[in-house]
């Protein structure tokens, strides 16, 4: 049974999280936090990767708070990030590995 979906891309000096999705019935069991912590742990000592970044749609407070609770910082907002969805504005978050 599939409980979650994880899509991460690592490019040169940083890694970008595209999605971490946990089935609705499996939420509130720390699966997303465990996946994120393991992802960070696996890349903590990789000198080639200095940070992990991601984008969160500005209206998605639950997701933003999840990442902030896991030590990601909102660096800035980006206008017109999306072309085909509303709102087009996103938060750019970053976790420094070292």
- Residue pointed to by tokens 């970008």: 16
User: What structural domains and CATH numbers belong to the chain?
Assistant: 4-96 (3.40.630.30)
Contact (CB, 8 A) for 6 and 37: no
User: Between helices 31-43 and 61-69, what is the axis angle to 10°?
Assistant: 50
Torsion of CA 80, 59, 15, 71, to 10 degrees: 140
pTM above 0.85, yes or no: no
Q: Which two tokens stand for residue 37?
A: 């912590």
Q: What is the pLDDT of residue 13?
A: 56
Per-residue pLDDT of the chain (98 residues; tens, 9 = 90+): 565 555 555 554 567 787 888 888 888 888 889 889 988 888 888 888 889 999 999 999 999 999 999 999 999 999 999 999 999 999 999 999 98
Question: Distance between CA atoms of 49 and 15, rounded to whole angstroms?
Answer: 7
CA atoms of 11 and 70, how far apart (whole Å): 22
């Amino acid at each position: 049974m599939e409980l979650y979906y994880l899509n991460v891309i690592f490019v040169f000096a940083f890694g970008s999280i595209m999605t971490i999705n946990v089935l609705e019935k499996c939420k509130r069991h720390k699966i997303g936090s465990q996946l994120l912590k393991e992802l960070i742990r696996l890349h903590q000592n990789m000198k080639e990767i200095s940070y992990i970044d991601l984008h969160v749609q500005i209206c998605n407070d639950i997701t933003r708070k999840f990442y902030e609770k896991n030590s990601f910082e909102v660096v800035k907002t980006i206008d017109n990030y999306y072309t085909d969805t509303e709102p087009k504005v996103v938060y750019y978050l970053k976790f420094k590995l070292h």
